[in-house]
Structure 1
Amino acid sequence: MKATIITIGDEILIGQIVDTNSSYIAKALDKIGIATHEMISISDDKTHILETFEKLQNKVDVVLVTGGLGPTKDDITKKTFCEYFEDTLVENEAILLHVKGIIEGFYKRPITQINKEQALVPTKAKVLFNQVGTAPGMWMEKENTVFISLPGVPYEMKYLVDNEVVPALATKFERPYIVHQTIMTYGRGESLIAEEIEEWEDNLPPFIRLAYLPSPGKVRLRLTARGTNHELLLAEMKKQVEMLDLLIHDIIVGYNEDEPIEVVLGRLLTEDNLTLSTAESCTGGKIASLLTEVPGSSKYFKGSVVSYASQAKVDVLHISEEILEKYSVVSAEITEAMALSVQQMMKTDFAIATTGNAGPNKGDSDAEIGTVFIAIATPNGVFSQEFNFGQPREKVIDRAVSKALELIYKEILKK
């Protein structure tokens, strides 16, 4: 089964807003065995919409459209649906009562004619009732393709996808099973991993595919199995993951895409009743930000010092000016002193510290641009490592954050 997702709106095409709707819909379809064939963004233009519908007719099983369902004159999706399906708009009494309740009950103002027009739907459409907004969804069929129109407002779209669209599609179509498994790895690049697992990858069953999803400092390996025998897919997936684990066990940090390293790290700290703090310079608080995004992180993460300027290292972390002058702000000695200072200040078992030259200028140090020192303070002492993450600035910072989390993760595993 194949689906195409269309987003309608000039605001997407000019980069004014980012299309997150397509990603949400694709994930929801994938869970019920419907593969997204393509994602398309098109303008608020009737001719463009009609041409796109015509191109997709009978080429895919489902076309899902978001956007263009609001009360304003530039929202033309309903009228365009009517033209494509040779239909007319009629007032839906249930939707009108719903819209009236929202406008008069919640917004405390009289309903206007433009609000009433939200209740107009094509006569051939199956209405997808939108409990959290005023614009209804629409389900229409032509020959071998189902066309579904949804509001562009993300929370309204999500409600309809979860409560109306997915259940209806699951009932209407017979679908293959799709099983995913994501293996999270840290500390080794995509090409090196590919070399290590080449023989294993070459011998994967034909119904299982491997995708490499690299980002700074980490690589996600995503296995996807498709077929009609769910038990077989699960068993073979388990077998292949176990074989992969034997090959690259040292860099695997988790088996769930929803559990990045900061989540896994938090679980380890919680289980062992350990605490962590950070002192950040070049990473500017990004490590602390990631750690505190995890619910319950206050159990193990005690605080952070963002000592971005050299003077802050002196005033807040109490690093002597003599040491700064002797070793330079970007050095092993300074980052180790930062880690030990914040560890003592926050009274934690572990601490992370970063200092470096992310560029584009050298700042307070003569160190080469891209140079980063990362220190880890443990209950038994402190150590640091030097890296050069190249350029540009964003890459240096992202890789420094990833490497710091990798180092602390490995250190905690030793406990």
Structure 2
Amino acid sequence: MMKVHILSIGDEILIGQITNTNSSWMARLLNNNAIRVQGISTVSDQHEEIIEGIKTAFLKSDVVLMTGGLGPTKDDVTKKAIADYYGVELVFSSETYERILKMFEQWGRKTTNAHREQCYMPQNTVLLLNKLGTAPGMWFDEAGKVLVAMPGVPYEMEYLMEHQVLPKLLERFPRSPIAHRTIQTVGEGESRIAERIAQFEDNLPPNIKLAYLPNMGRVRLRLTAFGDHQTTIEAALDEKVQELVPLIEDLIFGHGDISLEAAVGQLLQTRNLTIATAESCTGGYLAHQITAVAGSSAYYMGSVIAYSNDVKINQLNVRPATLKEHGAVSEATVREMVAGLLQLIPADIGIAISGIAGPDGGTPEKPVGTIWLAIGNQEQIYSIKLQLGKDRLRNIQFTSVNALNFVRQWVLGRL
């Protein structure tokens, strides 16, 4: 089986200035094409560090995919490092220079000497056409090992991977069959899920692995199977999914790559239900998640961002006496927010949120992270309290995930 190492070049990644999205994107693409990613690493924009990174990556891998350091500036030293790794000279690529000249002519701009310097390539490379930028990709095939260097600009890297690199890899190396199944869950952490399915996991055959992928109140369970025949491992995975689902059926909101907000939307649409939201501490984040799904207008009617008490009173008919006696962050307030929301917006379901997102504003009785949610219709309202941490953004995001799950449970009759 082909083993790939993804190597990113850039101090900006190491100091946390940018997030390395390239590596995760490449890993998903390769994995979906039955190519195993053996490792992912990042090294600085230093000549010796890059060479050492290549050497280390090749210790356990057949292929190294590099991104970054191919631009026209002085800190783009990847090509020189690669040339020194292979013991070859940098030579001028007139083909690349002519492409750059044509591109700049179309843009109505002039090239600089730095663009000419960018056209020096390691002598032993096969250039990969990059239609979206000035830097071509580079393919090296020596002693049964392949090194590919690509620009760090995400859309340029993605173009090269899809149109140049992946087709060449699939032609160059044989693949062993691999298959995946993903189950999306919400409502329990990975440790609690692991307890519930411990016997199932212990009984998995050696060629099927289970991974837990937690993310803000949700956990993806990914089953991966390896084998000699694709149809055999696909059938084996389907059988294991059928065994697993009944064990955690109450937590499952979907299969594959579906998001929680999309799954809730499908559920509402299937039941021919509409929903409206009233948000205080989340400031519209729940509405954003719902409306990020294409077609959400079929079930989402609108929102009131009731951040202040005045808006709670004047728009949602929350009684001043309720706020005075119980406070804005209370069960009584969110229940009245739902009732007032449904008077204002004629939806089938209303959900309200009020809390203390942080990092300050808490009291001994209501510390930071205290959140109240209420959901209901014209006949009944159900409420729940969350006690979260002190990170403001995480509290907002986690509250919205819980609210979506609250809607899911309501629609399914599980509250």
Structure-1-length-normalised TM-score: 0.93
> Which residue does 1:374 correspond to in 2?
373
> Which residue does 1:147 correspond to in 2?
147
Indicate conservation of the 8 Å contact 1:358/1:396, yes or no: yes
> Which residue does 1:25 correspond to in 2?
26
> Which residue does 2:397 correspond to in 1?
398
Q: Secondary structure of the residue that 2:358 maps to in structure 1?
A: coil
Indicate conservation of the 8 Å contact 1:375/1:385, yes or no: yes
> Which residue does 2:204 correspond to in 1?
204
> Which residue does 2:99 correspond to in 1?
98
Q: CA deviation at 1:164?
A: 0.6
Q: Secondary structure of the residue that 1:333 maps to in structure 2?
A: helix
Indicate conservation of the 8 Å contact 2:317/2:336, yes or no: no
Distance of aligned partners of 1:328 and 1:113 in 2 relative to their CA distance in 1, 3 Å threshold? closer
1:49 is aligned with what amino acid?
I
Indicate conservation of the 8 Å contact 1:3/1:60, yes or no: yes
Q: Secondary structure of the residue that 1:116 maps to in structure 2?
A: helix
User: In the TM superposition, what are the counterparts of 1:43-122 in structure 2 within 5 Å?
Assistant: 43-106=44-107, 108-122=108-122
Tell which deviates more after alignment, 68-77 or 405-414: 405-414
Q: CA deviation at 1:393?
A: 4.1
Q: CA deviation at 1:390?
A: 4.5
> Which residue does 2:219 correspond to in 1?
219
Q: CA deviation at 1:313?
A: 1.0
- List gaps (5 residues or longer) in structure 2: none
Distance of aligned partners of 1:17 and 1:359 in 2 relative to their CA distance in 1, 3 Å threshold? closer
Which whole-Å CA distance do the structure 2 matches of 1:32 and 1:217 have between them? 29
Which whole-Å CA distance do the structure 2 matches of 1:165 and 1:327 have between them? 62
Tell which deviates more after alignment, 264-273 or 290-299: 264-273
CA deviations over 1:367-413 (Å, ceiling 9, x no partner)? 34332211112253322122323444444433322221111012223
> Which residue does 1:344 correspond to in 2?
343
> Which residue does 1:239 correspond to in 2?
239
Indicate conservation of the 8 Å contact 1:29/1:35, yes or no: yes
> Which residue does 1:185 correspond to in 2?
185
Tell which deviates more after alignment, 30-39 or 200-209: 30-39
Q: Secondary structure of the residue that 1:269 maps to in structure 2?
A: helix
Indicate conservation of the 8 Å contact 2:5/2:64, yes or no: yes
Indicate conservation of the 8 Å contact 1:187/1:251, yes or no: yes
Q: Secondary structure of the residue that 1:179 maps to in structure 2?
A: strand
Indicate conservation of the 8 Å contact 1:281/1:356, yes or no: yes
Q: Secondary structure of the residue that 1:323 maps to in structure 2?
A: helix
Q: CA deviation at 1:340?
A: 2.0
Does residue 1:320 correspond to 2:332, yes or no? no
Indicate conservation of the 8 Å contact 2:38/2:60, yes or no: no
Indicate conservation of the 8 Å contact 2:362/2:368, yes or no: no
Does residue 1:132 correspond to 2:138, yes or no? no
Q: CA deviation at 1:363?
A: 5.3
Which whole-Å CA distance do the structure 1 matches of 2:176 and 2:63 have between them? 15
Distance of aligned partners of 1:59 and 1:249 in 2 relative to their CA distance in 1, 3 Å threshold? closer
Indicate conservation of the 8 Å contact 2:277/2:352, yes or no: yes
Q: CA deviation at 1:136?
A: 0.3
Indicate conservation of the 8 Å contact 1:58/1:144, yes or no: no
Which whole-Å CA distance do the structure 1 matches of 2:408 and 2:58 have between them? 51
Q: CA deviation at 1:366?
A: 4.5
Q: CA deviation at 1:112?
A: 3.0
Indicate conservation of the 8 Å contact 1:58/1:143, yes or no: no
Indicate conservation of the 8 Å contact 1:330/1:365, yes or no: no
Which whole-Å CA distance do the structure 2 matches of 1:113 and 1:361 have between them? 53
Q: Secondary structure of the residue that 2:131 maps to in structure 1?
A: coil
> Which residue does 2:250 correspond to in 1?
250
Indicate conservation of the 8 Å contact 1:310/1:364, yes or no: no
Distance of aligned partners of 1:393 and 1:169 in 2 relative to their CA distance in 1, 3 Å threshold? same
2:354 is aligned with what amino acid?
T
Distance of aligned partners of 1:44 and 1:191 in 2 relative to their CA distance in 1, 3 Å threshold? closer
> Which residue does 1:228 correspond to in 2?
228
Q: CA deviation at 1:365?
A: 9.8
Q: CA RMSD in A?
A: 2.0
CA deviations over 1:332-365 (Å, ceiling 9, x no partner)? 2210111122223222111111112333434599
Q: CA deviation at 1:328?
A: 2.2
> Which residue does 1:263 correspond to in 2?
262
1:314 is aligned with what amino acid?
I
Which whole-Å CA distance do the structure 2 matches of 1:374 and 1:312 have between them? 18
Distance of aligned partners of 1:226 and 1:286 in 2 relative to their CA distance in 1, 3 Å threshold? same
CA deviations over 1:88-111 (Å, ceiling 9, x no partner)? 2333343223211211112x0233
2:102 is aligned with what amino acid?
G
CA deviations over 1:74-99 (Å, ceiling 9, x no partner)? 21111222222222233334322321
Tell which deviates more after alignment, 36-45 or 133-142: 36-45
Indicate conservation of the 8 Å contact 1:357/1:365, yes or no: no
> Which residue does 1:296 correspond to in 2?
295
Which whole-Å CA distance do the structure 2 matches of 1:6 and 1:306 have between them? 44
Q: Secondary structure of the residue that 1:69 maps to in structure 2?
A: coil
2:101 is aligned with what amino acid?
K
Which whole-Å CA distance do the structure 1 matches of 2:389 and 2:43 have between them? 38
Which whole-Å CA distance do the structure 2 matches of 1:407 and 1:194 have between them? 23
CA deviations over 1:141-164 (Å, ceiling 9, x no partner)? 222321100001111011001111
Which whole-Å CA distance do the structure 1 matches of 2:290 and 2:174 have between them? 42
Q: Secondary structure of the residue that 1:316 maps to in structure 2?
A: helix
Which whole-Å CA distance do the structure 2 matches of 1:26 and 1:295 have between them? 26
Q: Secondary structure of the residue that 1:210 maps to in structure 2?
A: strand
Q: CA deviation at 1:126?
A: 1.1
Indicate conservation of the 8 Å contact 1:339/1:376, yes or no: yes
